[in-house]
Chains A and B, each alone.
Chain A
Amino acid sequence: MLAHQIGYYSLILGFFFSILIIPVSIKNFSNKNKVINNKVFSISFFQFFFVLVSFSGLILSFVNSDFGNETVFNNSHTTKPLLYKISGTWGNHEGSLLLWLLVLTLFIFIFLIKSNSQPKKYRILTLLFQQVIIIGFFLFLLKTSNPFNYFFPVPKEGLGLNPILQDPALAIHPPILYLGYVGSSIIFSSSLAAVVEKHISNVWAKHIKFWIFVSWIFLTFGIMLGSIWAYYELGWGGFWFWDPVENVSLMPWFCLTALLHCILVLEKKSMLSSWTIILSIATFMLSMSGTFLVRSGILNSVHTFANDPERGIFILIFLFILILFSLVIFFVFHKENDQKIVKINWLSKEASILFNNWFLMYFLSVVLIGTVYPIFLEVLSSKKISVGPPFYYKLIIPFLIPFLFFMSIGPNLNWIKSEIKKIKIQIVLSFAVSLLISFVILNQIGFVGLINSILILVTFYLFFITIKDFFLKKFKNYSQIFSHFGFSLLILSILFNSILSSEKIINLKVGEEFSFREETIIFESIESIKNKNYKSIVGNFKIKDKQNNFLQLKPELRIYNQPVMITSEADIKTTLYYDKFLVMNLVKDYEYFNVRYQVKPFMIWIWISTVILVIGGFLSLFQRSYEK
């Protein structure tokens, strides 16, 4: 109760400070001082501080199970483990928006502290633009989704958190993803400020690069956590479903990845300034559209969120105000000097980065159009269609081939110009090696289709080139080598995982067995276990292979009491070579279970390679020197 009150009033105080910043910083903007007034720092700090107090208040309400708070009542229950009481804070719409706000206010404060080498006017303008976003979110929160609604009489028990959300990966997935999304808001504001102040230069590029990489790291990691959650918790053995909610997180990722390559060109060659700004704006707009598409319930998705049209309309209007605002600023203030355009040689690092952007924009357009097309079609012609995995595969996979090829060659080219003759023999040699390896592998596993075969070849090429670079290159850019290596490993794992996965779906009674490939799966017994907030039925399975080795797997059915819901928990045995995945489901009115057994090769490598990719991004934060 106390925590609730404190939370609510701090939120209002925070809102007060967020408005107070505006006149104070405008005054500071026009005076002659070279530095930002300390007042601005302190107000920005208080803004952050009060949102933090408010957020802590909400967490405390969750921990204490204060069911007078509507958000707590709707999403918590006394029997829930402490971890999920806490993660329940952001596992719902109101709390997650408060978290957005918290990160927004934190990031702008860090930005102010960290940017003291930059011109004052540029910093203040960034702050002002960022405040527009922050105030928008404050209004949204207070008007349509207040996390601090209190009601009497106080209920004895809450409604509970959806059991499939009670998972460790999902507990930290939203905060990490938001760090990525909100990081892109800093990039957005700062690029607009830089446009107004004519500050777009290699100095600015160097400074904003930090934020681009930070957002990219969190976004990538956040997407991976979501995917891990889907794999372990949804119980279908897949890790990416091309579901709208997943696509929505992928779109800003494509844009941000393009941006972090493009910013290097701006930093080195002072080129592509307009394009950098467009990407900076687009990244944040896509993050916002994602919030709109997910929160408004306009799309039909597995990941159901509570939704409300009023909220949808608010975000939609806010989103379009921001778009129009940035369009006007861009067209009014940005003057590109046409004479200054330097042509690029096609065999250079710049050109390969342009190609990278070109392909990433294509992938982005496929995912964006695939996700929103059904909405447009329905409104314009009231016809409903579904766009799913086959569409994305057909349009993305063929284009991955040249993309991976440029990705292998690009880092080995020089800035400005490379001579064909000087292209090192090692590059050709790596190609020969990958040709050989992929031939041997294809011989082993059988023909997998023309496109897949070429894809395997080019991915191996990237794989070997990055290994070669790691050992042989003179100027080592570890960040690039790590992340490109991670990416090649990711594509390889996904490819071999999808080609070599095998599965068997069967109805089975206790005591029965079935054979699959060279293994026998025995359903030995079931037992019932009572837990704090659920009852579980555990199936004991034994898997016997050709050498008579036994492996025990125990998939589980959980019957949660609050809210009443049955979930099936897969049991997964992970090794470096494959995952063995077993899940069982209840079949109504029958004594048998529907059992799904899958052998998924290289599953763990999908996560490992994504972690390598993220480490690559992380390394760039410490990298001081660059190759020529």
Chain B
Amino acid sequence: MKLSSFLLIILITFNFTNLNSEENNDKIKNKISKNIRCLICQGQSVYDSQSDFAVSIKLIIDKKLNEGLNENEIYDFLKKQYGEWISYDPEFNKKTFILWILPILLFVIGGAIILRKFIVQKL
């Protein structure tokens, strides 16, 4: 118990001593703009793009952060405005569950084949 609270304190202090709040804000802003796709130059993220649209989106992100919205609320706002396409992080829903599940399913199947076919069970 003592040890865990001690560890917790260490973690918290680490988290906050490292960055001042302005830099922290910049970090979140950059992170969000990296995960948002630019509608004008469609191969790039808003972070990487210099188009007018991307610049506006960056300003919007800034504004929303100052209004007190958190990261997810900002994604939701942008998705509401422009559709799910704008986010590089696809949601988990009935259209995308195959995307998320299939690789893991293949991993499990692969593991099962390896175990059944090749590995000697007893040590």
Binding site for B on A (CB under 8 A): 234, 236, 238, 241, 243, 300-304, 341, 343-346, 350-351, 354-355, 358, 361-362, 365-366, 369-370, 373, 377, 381, 383-391, 395, 399, 445-447, 502-505, 585, 588, 594
Contacts and interface: CB of A to CB of B under 8 A. Distances in A.
A384 B86 CA distance: 9
A365 B111 contact: no
Interface of B: 10-11, 14-15, 17-18, 23, 26, 30, 34-35, 37, 41-45, 47-48, 50, 52, 83-90, 95-96, 98-100, 102-104, 106-107, 110-111, 114, 117-120, 123
Given A303-B43, A387-B90, A391-B90, 15 more contacts: A302-B43, A343-B120, A344-B120, A345-B119, A346-B120, A351-B119, A362-B106, A365-B103, A365-B107, A383-B95, A384-B84, A384-B85, A386-B86, A390-B89, A395-B104
B85 to A, nearest CB: 5
A373 B97 CA distance: 11
A180 to B, nearest CB: 24
A156 B119 CA distance: 70
A365 B17 contact: no
Given A386-B37, A390-B35, A447 B15 contact: yes
B118 A344 contact: yes
B114 A354 contact: yes
5 contacts: A302-B41, A345-B119, A373-B99, A388-B35, A390-B88
B103 A373 contact: no
Contacts, number: 117
A474 B14 CA distance: 44
A585 B88 CA distance: 25
Contact of B37 (A343, A366, A373, A388): A388
Contacts of B34: 389
B120 A388 contact: no
B48 A236 contact: yes
Contacts of B100: 395
A366 B123 CA distance: 33
Contact of A504 (B26, B43, B48, B89): B26
Contacts of B87: 386
Contact of B90 (A243, A366, A386): A386
A302 B44 contact: yes
B82 to A, nearest CB: 11
Greatest chain B CB density within 10 A among A355, A370, A390 is at A390
A525 to B, nearest CB: 22
Given A346-B119, A354-B114, A377-B95, A385 B106 contact: no
Contact of A391 (B42, B85, B88): B88
A389 B43 contact: no
A205 B18 CA distance: 53
Greatest chain A CB density within 10 A among B11, B15, B103 is at B103
Contacts of B41: 302
Nearest to B110: A358
Given A345-B120, A388-B35, A390-B88, A304 B43 contact: yes
Nearest to A388: B88
Contact of B15 (A350, A384, A446): A446
A500 to B, nearest CB: 11
A17 to B, nearest CB: 41
B43 A387 contact: no
Contacts of B89: 388, 390-391
Nearest to A381: B95
Nearest to A358: B110
A373 B90 CA distance: 11
Contacts of A341: 117-118
A503 B28 CA distance: 12
Contacts of A241: 45, 48
A384 B39 CA distance: 13
B119 A236 contact: no
B35 A389 contact: yes
A377 B45 CA distance: 21
Nearest to B108: A362
Contacts of B11: 447
Contacts of B103: 362, 365-366, 369, 395
Contacts of B114: 354-355, 358
A386 B26 CA distance: 24
A389 B32 CA distance: 12
A341 B113 CA distance: 13
B93 to A, nearest CB: 10
Contacts of A351: 118-119
Nearest to A420: B123
A238 to B, nearest CB: 7
A446 B43 CA distance: 34
By Cβ-Cβ distance, the 6 closest A-B pairs, closest first, are A388-B88, A302-B43, A390-B89, A446-B14, A236-B48, A362-B107
Contacts of B84: 383-385
A343 B95 CA distance: 41
Nearest to B95: A383
Contacts of A445: 18
Contacts of A365: 102-103, 106-107
B121 to A, nearest CB: 9
Greatest chain A CB density within 10 A among B95, B104, B118 is at B118
Contact of A503 (B10, B30, B37, B95): B30
A213 B45 CA distance: 36
B62 to A, nearest CB: 11
